[in-house]
Amino acid sequence: MLGKLIKYDLKASAKLFILLHALFLAACIFCRMLFINRLDFIHSSEQSLVTAIAIITSLMIFLIVALNLGSWLLITFRFYRNLFSREGYLSWTLPVSGLQHLWSKIISGYMYMALSTVVIGAGVLILVSGRNVVEAYSTIEPEVTEELGMSISSFAVSLFLYSIFACISTVIMTYFCITVGQLFPGHRILCALAAYFITNLVVQFLSLFLAFAFGYSPGYSSAFISDGKPIAESIWGTITLSTFLMIILSILQYIITHIIIKKKVNLL
């Protein structure tokens, strides 16, 4: 039954999900062919080159944020509508436990967010894999590798894999906030948003505190970490601490969400 629930959840938003990501990839291809491939990193003036890169970078960051937000909204609305709105009356009459409902949403939500991350990675690869970009980067590759402590490709792959892993935390935290919000029938959306912002604030504060405590924050050193370390070491040190915190919070949020779904569900 769990498999059927997952399949149903995936099909419910599949058309819009595919459309959004197809448009994103089309935009990346369009930008690559009409703009990036025409950049001359050797003969163009520095000012015109910086302006062009700034415009393209801003546009692509906007598209990436919009795509990521769109994917997040799809799983958010699906979770709320299927379990806590009028549709929930039908969902909770199925011969399925609350645990199965929760896990079907976690698995389908993670699949969507992870696939969205893969598509974003593919889009970025399309943008930066042109011959002119590769040749321009080759002139500064030794300096970048020295600063990072590893090749840019290794760094990018590691960051990509971390992003894939972090999707599960995003999904669980989103469902946790929605579940907490439904405890207040008169202000569901407002309380869910409040829970989301408070949770994010706590996570950011704890992450920053741990980064300072272990000397991984830029411009800050501690007795635990020596100065002069590569940038990648500081970045991955911060990511390691954030991952540890993320795992703990995700477990706590999952437990609370499970308890609320099992004992306190308020339908519209």
Q: Is 215 left (phi over 0), alpha (psi -120 to 50) or beta?
A: left
Q: Is 139 left (phi over 0), alpha (psi -120 to 50) or beta?
A: alpha
d(CA 160, CA 166): 10
Higher pLDDT, 238 or 116: 116
Q: Could you tell me if 156 and 145 are in contact, meaning their C-beta atoms sit under 8 angstroms apart? A: no
Cα Rg of the chain, angstroms: 22
Looking at every residue in the chain, the average pLDDT score rounds to 85
What DSSP character marks residue 92? Answer: T
Span 71-90, pLDDT tens digits = 999 999 999 988 888 887 78
Q: Give the pair of three-digit tokens for residue 18.
A: 């595919």
* CA 206 to each of CA 18, 201, 217, 252, 254: distance values in angstroms, whole numbers, following the listed order: 36, 9, 13, 15, 19
d(CA 105, CA 170): 13
The pTM for the full model equals: 0.86
Q: Give the pair of three-digit tokens for residue 69.
A: 């937000």
Residue owning tokens 């969902």: 91
d(CA 5, CA 8): 5
91-105, 214-228, 249-263 — which one is most confidently predicted on average? 249-263
pLDDT at 37: 85
d(CA 4, CA 94): 12
Banded model confidence at residue 104, pLDDT cuts 50, 70, 90: very high
d(CA 85, CA 188): 11
**Residue 98 pLDDT > 90, yes or no?**
no
Residue type, 146: E
Residues 6+ apart with CB under 8 A from 122: 25, 28
Query: Quick one: CA dihedral 117, 127, 50, 155, positive or negative?
Result: positive
Q: Could you tell me if 112 and 12 are in contact, meaning their C-beta atoms sit under 8 angstroms apart? A: no
Span 154-186, pLDDT tens digits = 888 988 999 999 999 999 999 999 999 888 877
Rounded to the nearest angstrom, the gap between the alpha carbon of residue 142 and the centroid of all alpha carbons in its chain is 30
Q: Could you tell me if 110 and 168 are in contact, meaning their C-beta atoms sit under 8 angstroms apart? A: yes
At residue 50's C-alpha, the angle toward residues 44 and 53, to 5°, is 100
